[in-house]
Amino acid sequence: MNPTVSKAANALSYALPKIMSPNAHHALDLAIAGSLAAGGAWYWNRNRHAAIASWACGGAMLGLTLLTSYPGKGRRYVRFSLHGKIERGMAAVLAGIPEILRLRDGRQRLHFEIEAGLLTAVSNLTSFDHST
């Protein structure tokens, strides 16, 4: 596995201050879910496995986002602090997909690696200690 983008995002963002608000985090989670869905549509005629993986990850992100109790947005099923832990796992899954699917196309590999890096950076820049 070679998740260099995710490793670089983690190295660059881990020690930075937690500046992202829950509202900004929520918006970026939706954007990441949308970009994964768009990637699935783009890959459909090129690589069905990559398309399905992208849609599955986008659906998982959307589901997590819709079930999370963001501070100030009302009570839901997943605490915001737990959301952060699940999100880190999701970034690891995204980083591993190119190897799991043995993707040869560099653009498809890079798509999943960039999504993993973005999710890692968003997670690292958010303080999940807010009470919900």
Residue 108 lies in a domain: yes
Residue 119 lies in a domain: yes
Residue 126 lies in a domain: yes
Residue 22 lies in a domain: no
Q: Total domain count for the chain?
A: 1
Residue 94 lies in a domain: yes
40 closest CA partner among 101, 108, 119, 113: 108
Distance CA(114)–CA(102), nearest Å, equals 17
Residues 6+ apart with CB under 8 A from 14: 124
Residue 10 lies in a domain: no
Mind listing the pLDDT tens digit for each residue in 49-89?
Answer: 999 999 999 999 999 999 998 877 777 899 988 999 999 99
Residue 131 has pLDDT above 70, yes or no: no
Residue 130 has pLDDT above 60, yes or no: no
* β-strand partners of 69: 79
Mind listing the pLDDT tens digit for each residue in 5-23?
Answer: 667 676 667 667 788 888 8
Distance CA(16)–CA(39), nearest Å, equals 29
Residue 44 has pLDDT above 90, yes or no: yes
The model's confidence at residue 2, banded by pLDDT at 50, 70 and 90, is low
Distance CA(43)–CA(116), nearest Å, equals 18
Residue 35 lies in a domain: no
Q: How many CB atoms lie within 10 A of CB 42?
A: 16
Residue 110 structural domain:
41-132
Residue 36 lies in a domain: no
pTM here is: 0.84
